[in-house]
Structure 1
C-alpha cells in the first residue's frame, strides 16, 4: 500500500502494518547495479540516488515485493522475509540499558548450565563449534575441556574463531607467582572481579585463559555478568545507573618500562539509543576521576560503591576450577572475571591472550549460514 506522494509504502503482515521509506528501499536494493554479487557491498553511494526518489508502483507476489522507483523508473525485487527481518518501523526501546535479542543475562543460577564444550569436538565438528560460539555470544563466556597440555595451546583456541590481538604484553602472557611482579595478576592474591585492560581504547573484547599446571590449593576462577550487575543497579536506583553511564571514568596503566596506557570511558557504556554495550570495571586501574562535576561526585561514588557490592555478591558469581588442558574465554566488554587466592604450595601456570568478538561473531555467522544452506 503506497501513501499519496509515494514517499513510503506499508507492508501488511498479519495484524502488523510496517512502513518502509522509498529512500531506504532504494538504498537497500540488491540488484546487480547496486550491490556486488561477490561480497554484497554497495556499488553506489547515497549521493547517486536521486534526492526526490519516490515509489511509483509496488506489487506483492507471494514472498516477493516488487517496487518501481521514480524518477529512475527502476524496478527492484525484495524478499519479504528479509524486509521483515530488517524492519525499522517498530516501537522504540524506551528503557535505557536494554540488551539486544540473543543476549541472556545471568547470575549464580548459571552454575548448573555453564557453557562448556570439548576441545577436540569443536575442533572437528562445525555444528558443535557453532553451538559453543553461540553460547559465548549469548552468555558472554564459555569453557573448553580436554585440550592439549602444551606450551601455547591457547593459540589453538583462538584459531577456532579468529586472531590474537597483540599488546605490550606480547601475543600472550604468563600467569604465575612472581617476585616483585609488575601486575597483581602474577601474585597468589585473590582478585576482585574485573574487566581486563580498561586503560586501552579500544579495549580487547575477548580474553582467553588456558591452564597448564594447577597443583596449588585454591585459585578457582570466577565470572560475573556485568550486564546483569548493571541491570540490578538500574532496578535499585536509576539515578546511580545513569550517573555511571553519563560521566567518563579515567583508567591508566604504567607498570612497564616505556608503557603509559590511558583511556577515558564510562564504567557503564551505552549506545546512543540506550543499548547496554559495555562495562569497564577495574579498581586496580581506575585513575583519578576528573570528569564528574562537583555536585554529582558523591552520587557517583555511591553508585560506584554499590555496583562493586553487586559484583562482589556471591549470588552473582559462577565459579569453577580449571585443570591442565582446560580453558575459558570471556567477552571482556561484558563479563568480569576473578580469581580466588591460592597458596604458595604446588604450582600454578596459566597462559592468556586477547582476541576480539568481531571475529567470533563472523565465524558464528558463517557457520550458521553454511548449516542453514545445508538443510535447505
Structure 2
C-alpha cells in the first residue's frame, strides 16, 4: 500500500491495484477518535464547525494511516476501514419468476420461533426475495402478530392491530368476499404504505383460495425503458373510504431511489382513482402492459396455505393475490402489518 497527499486530498494505492482519493474535509469529518465519536458510535463532531478551507498538513502510514490537519487535529484511520469498512454493505436482492416455485423459501414455525440461525435464514429470505413461508404453526388467533414480534413491532392501522380475511355480509373491501384478487399492493392509499404484510391461515376447507405472488421488481425489469419511465414519472392517486376512515395519497406505480434503482411498486386496481397524466394513451399502454405481465404464469407462483401456515411479503416489492374460492367451505386468514426496517435490524443483529 502506498499513500500520497497534497493539501486537499489523500491518495491510496491499494495492493490489489485499486486507487482511491479521499478529500481532506471528508477525512476530518470522519475521524474515529474518542474526541470526535462517542463509544456508542454516534458522532460528537459537528460538521458545521469545520472550516471550508481545511487542509492536510501531513500523512504517514504507521500501522494506522495518520493524518494531521490544518486545524491542529490528528486522525488515525484503520486501513481496512478506509478500504471497505465505511461503505454501506451491498443489499442482497434476487429477482425471481415462476421458476422459484420449485425452491420456495419455507421455514418451520417451531424452529423459527426458537430464534437463532433458523430465524436469521427466514428473515434473510424475506430481505433477498421479498417473501417467505412458515409452516406447521398453531391455528390460534393472534399468532400472526406473535410472528411479527419475532423481528419488530406490529403496525396498527384503521383495520386494527390485526385483521380477519374471510367472507362477510356487506363488505367494505373486496378482500372480505370470495372473489379472486389480482396481484396488488396492500394499502397504497396510506402514507407511508406498510412495508411488510403477514397472513396466517386459521381455516382452509373451501375449494380454491390459492395464494399468488409475483415479484414486481422482476416484472418491472422486463418492461421497455419507455414504459418504465412513464410509470415512474407520473403519480397516481389511491383512495380508500368507509364510514370511519378516509385515506388518500399520490405515488407513482414505480418509485425510484436517488440511485435510479427501483425502490417500490404501488399497484392496486381496486383503489386507484381516475388517471390524470399528459398523454393518457401512452400512459395506459405502459400501465396495461405492466398489469397484464403481473398476471402472466411465467412470473407468478401459487400455493395454498394449510391451517397454521403463514406467509410474509415485502409489500413494496412482491404483489400478492388469490384465486376465487367457494363459499360452501371455510377460508379464514388473519393478517397484520409490520415495518421492514425492524426486520432488517433483527437480521443484522442475528448476522453479527
Question: Is the CA contact (8 Å cut-off) linking 1:11 and 1:19 kept in structure 2?
Answer: no
Is 1:275 matched with 2:277? no
Counterpart pick for 1:252 among 235, 239, 259: 239
Question: Could you list the runs of 5+ residues in structure 2 that have no partner in the other structure?
Answer: none
In the alignment, the residues of structure 1 paired with residue 70 and residue 137 of structure 2 have an alpha-carbon distance, to the nearest angstrom, of: 60
Match of 2:308 in 1: 325
Task: Find the partner of 2:299 among 316, 321, 330.
Answer: 316
Superposition deviation, residue 259 in structure 1: 1.3
Equivalent residue for 1:195, pick from 170, 185, 190: 185
| Per-residue Cα deviation, 1:92-143 (whole angstroms, up to 9, x for no partner) | xxxxxxxx64101000011111111111111214111111111110000011
SS at match of 2:284: helix
Equivalent-residue separation in structure 2 for 1:305 and 1:180 (angstroms): 30
Query: SS state of the match for residue 2, structure 1?
Result: strand
The equivalent position to 1:124 in structure 2, one of 109, 114, 117, is 114
Contact 1:211–1:324 (Cα < 8 Å) also in 2:
yes
Equivalent of 1:168 in 155, 158, 166: 158
- Which residue of 16, 19, 30 corresponds with 2:18? 16
User: 1:284 aligns to what?
Assistant: 270
- 1:77 is aligned to 77
CA distance in 1, matches of 2:36, 2:294: 49
Q: Deviations over 1:281-308 (max 9, x none)?
A: 0000111223x22xx2211110000001
Give me the whole-angstrom Cα distance separating, in 2, the residues matched to 1:189 and 1:350. Answer: 15
Whether contact under 8 Å (1:6, 1:56) holds in the other structure is: no
Paired with 1:66 and 1:134, the residues of 2 have a C-alpha distance of: 38
Deviation at 1:68, TM superposition (A): 2.5
Give the Cα–Cα distance (whole angstroms) in 1 for the partners of residues 11 and 56 of structure 2: 8
| Separation in 2, partners of 1:367, 1:79 | 27
SS of the aligned residue for 1:315 comes to: coil
Cα distance in 2, alignment partners of residues 331 and 105 from structure 1: 13
Give the match for residue 228 of structure 2. Answer: 241
SS at match of 2:294: helix
Counterpart for residue 56 of structure 1: 57
Q: Secondary structure at the match of 1:284?
A: coil
Asked if structure 2 preserves the Cα contact closer than 8 Å seen for 1:164 and 1:355, the reply is yes
Q: Describe the SS at the equivalent of 2:4.
A: coil
1: CA distance, partners of 2:349 / 2:133: 21
The 3 A distance-change label for structure 1 pair 132 and 65 is farther
Is 2:344 the counterpart of 1:361? yes
User: Quick one: structure 1 residues 359 and 79, their matched pair in 2 at CA, closer, same or farther if it must change by over 3 Å?
Assistant: farther
Question: Which of 187-196 and 9-18 deviates more?
Answer: 9-18
Structure 1 stretches of 5 or more lacking a match? 89-99, 370-376
- Whether the 8 Å contact between 2:131 and 2:314 is mirrored in structure 1 is yes
Q: Which position in structure 1 is the counterpart of 2:6? A: 4
Per-residue deviation at 1:61? 4.5
Contact kept? 1:142, 1:328, Cα under 8 Å: yes
CA distance in 2, matches of 1:328, 1:82: 41
- Partners of 1:80 and 1:222 lie apart in 2 by 45
Supply the distance in 2 between the matched residues of 1:140 and 1:133 (Cα, whole angstroms): 10
Counterpart position of 1:95: none
TM-score by length of 1: 0.89
Q: Structure 1 residues 82, 356: CA separation in 2 closer, same or farther (over 3 Å shift)?
A: farther
| Structure 2 SS opposite 1:102 | coil
Tell me the alpha carbon deviations over residues 300-330 of structure 1, each in whole angstroms, 9 at most, x when there is no partner: 1100000011101011011111011110000
CA distance 1:229–1:61, shift in 2 (3 Å)? farther
Aligned-pair CA distance for 1:167: 0.5
* TM-score w.r.t. length of structure 2: 0.95
Q: Distance in 2 between matches of 1:110 and 1:147?
A: 23
Figure out how many residues of one structure are paired with residues of the other and give that number: 349
1:3 deviates by 4.0
Q: 1:222 aligns with which of 212, 223, 235?
A: 212
